[in-house]
């Protein structure tokens, strides 16, 4: 039977829960990191990614509204994350659109929800459902710790490749640069909220479970990007992967 | 753990941070050097976190494209953007007052955005 963990134990357990299904292991991420994607593939990624991360402040706003006013610091952290996503500097989605345009797509195509895949629509819907329905602390664990905190490690691997192998300019890949810093702040705020407020065995276990599910959802999303847009041009064998390993 | 000496408005604040810490990330979660460190966008654009490196600069990587773009000649005066730096060794920093920052480093577009 599970026992109540202290902060250090709980943090390690959260990190392990995310690590098990890290999106770094998806064929799309592997193809990206090895420089094998065409710009057209990256354009499709931008057209999908916009609809997953674009509403992030909306997801957080639902959580914010349901967080008790006694959790002042947690609410402040959520509000700071929302502000920084939207108006703290350049709007993050504008930088994503700039990258998409460098890949050959357009703002209109990126903003058009008809250009996202069914799986992306599923991921977006899951994010909304978690934000609206779960205990606020569990929702933060799922969306901020489970999803957003993964981003720095993914982009840290992908950003040098975008410059060195895909030959994008610094300005074109600014979306990825900023996320290494800002998502580190946002993810860390998420950890602080969860570590501070998941103070029962039941809440801790729910947080761990939703981190696992969140990481699975992100892996599902990136795997579908590969299948929907890349596989016909770049089979798994060209990435040194086997079908069974990806299915698992 | 790296020791950080952070000077602001003539007062010295000292603390230890984990290796590979970003001081803006720490301030963002209200840990030292919060509340002394001024920062803003966390994306190397607003320059609010700009600070002069007094000691330990030899351990830092070369300025990246954002620091070169935003700081320009201020790089020669020892300024760096703390949001772009991960600390691995002891370091001493000094951050100017808001007034000095506004007169010397603040980018023109930042002024235009303020109400």
The model's pLDDT over B54-91, given as tens digits with 9 standing for 90+, comes to 999 999 999 999 999 999 999 999 999 999 999 999 99
Exposed/middle/buried for residue A242 (C-beta within 10 Å: 0-12, 13-18, 19+) = exposed
Per-residue pLDDT at A246 exceeds 70: no
Rounded to the nearest integer, the mean pLDDT of chain A is 91
At A45-61, the pLDDT tens digits run: 999 999 999 999 999 99
Task: Please check whether residue B43 touches A, CB under 8 A.
Answer: yes
User: DSSP per residue over B51-86, as a string?
Assistant: EEEEE-GGGSPPP-HHHHHHHGGGGTTTEEEGGG--
Taking the CB of residue B114, how many other CB atoms lie within 10 A of it? 7
pLDDT at A247: 53
pLDDT at A21: 62
8 Å CB contact between A55 and A128: yes
Backbone angles phi and psi of A131, in degrees to 5: -60, -35
Q: Determine the average pLDDT of the residues in A152-178.
A: 88
Q: Do A181 and B25 touch (CB under 8 A)?
A: yes
pLDDT at A244: 59
pLDDT at A25: 74
Task: Please check whether residue B40 touches A, CB under 8 A.
Answer: yes
Q: CA A104 to CA B97: how far, in whole Å?
A: 44
CA-nearest residue to A189 within chain B is: B29
ipTM higher than threshold 0.85: no
Task: Spell A145-168 as b/e; 16+ CB within 10 A means b.
Answer: bbbbbbbbbbbeebbebbbeebeb
pLDDT at A23: 65
Q: Do A170 and B65 touch (CB under 8 A)?
A: yes
Q: Determine the average pLDDT of the residues in A118-137.
A: 98
The per-type count for chain A, helices as H runs and strands as E runs, is: 13, 0
Residue B91 DSSP SS3: strand
Task: Please check whether residue B30 touches A, CB under 8 A.
Answer: yes
pLDDT at B64: 93
What is the pLDDT confidence band of residue B112, given thresholds at 50, 70 and 90? very low
Q: CA A154 to CA A49: how far, in whole Å?
A: 14
């Amino acid at each position: 039977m599970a026992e109540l963990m202290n902060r250090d134990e709980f943090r390690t357990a959260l990190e392990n829960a995310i690590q098990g299904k890290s999106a770094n292991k998806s064929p799309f991420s592997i193809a990206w990191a090895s420089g094998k994607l065409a710009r057209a593939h990256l354009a499709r990624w931008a057209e999908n990614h916009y609809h997953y991360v674009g509403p992030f402040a909306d997801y957080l706003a639902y959580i914010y509204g349901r967080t008790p006013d006694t959790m002042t610091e947690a609410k402040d952290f959520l509000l700071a994350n929302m502000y920084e996503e939207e108006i703290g500097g350049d709007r993050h989605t504008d930088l994503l659109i700039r990258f998409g345009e460098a890949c050959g797509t357009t703002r209109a195509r990126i903003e058009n929800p008809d250009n996202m895949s069914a799986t992306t629509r599923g991921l977006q819907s899951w994010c909304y459902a978690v934000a609206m329905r779960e205990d606020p602390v569990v929702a933060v664990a799922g969306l901020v710790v489970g999803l957003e905190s993964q981003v720095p490690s993914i982009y840290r691997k992908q950003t040098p490749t975008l410059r060195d192998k895909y030959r994008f300019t610094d300005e074109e890949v600014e979306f990825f640069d900023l996320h290494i810093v800002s998502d580190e702040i946002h993810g860390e705020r998420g950890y602080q909220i969860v570590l501070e407020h998941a103070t029962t065995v039941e809440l801790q276990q729910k947080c761990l479970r939703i981190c696992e599910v969140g990481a699975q959802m992100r892996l599902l999303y990136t795997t579908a990007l590969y299948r929907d847009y890349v596989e016909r041009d770049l089979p798994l064998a060209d990435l040194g992967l086997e079908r069974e390993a990806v299915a698992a | 753990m790296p020791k950080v000496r952070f000077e602001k408005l003539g007062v010295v604040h000292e603390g230890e941070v984990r290796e590979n810490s970003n001081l803006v990330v720490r301030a963002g979660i209200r840990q030292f050097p919060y509340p002394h460190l001024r920062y803003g966008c966390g994306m190397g654009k607003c320059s609010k976190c700009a600070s002069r490196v007094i000691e330990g600069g030899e351990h830092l990587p070369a300025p990246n494209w954002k620091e070169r773009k935003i700081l320009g000649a201020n790089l020669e005066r020892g300024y760096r953007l703390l949001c772009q730096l991960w600390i691995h060794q002891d370091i001493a920093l000094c951050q100017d007052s808001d007034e000095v920052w506004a007169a010397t480093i603040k980018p023109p577009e930042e002024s235009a955005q303020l109400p």
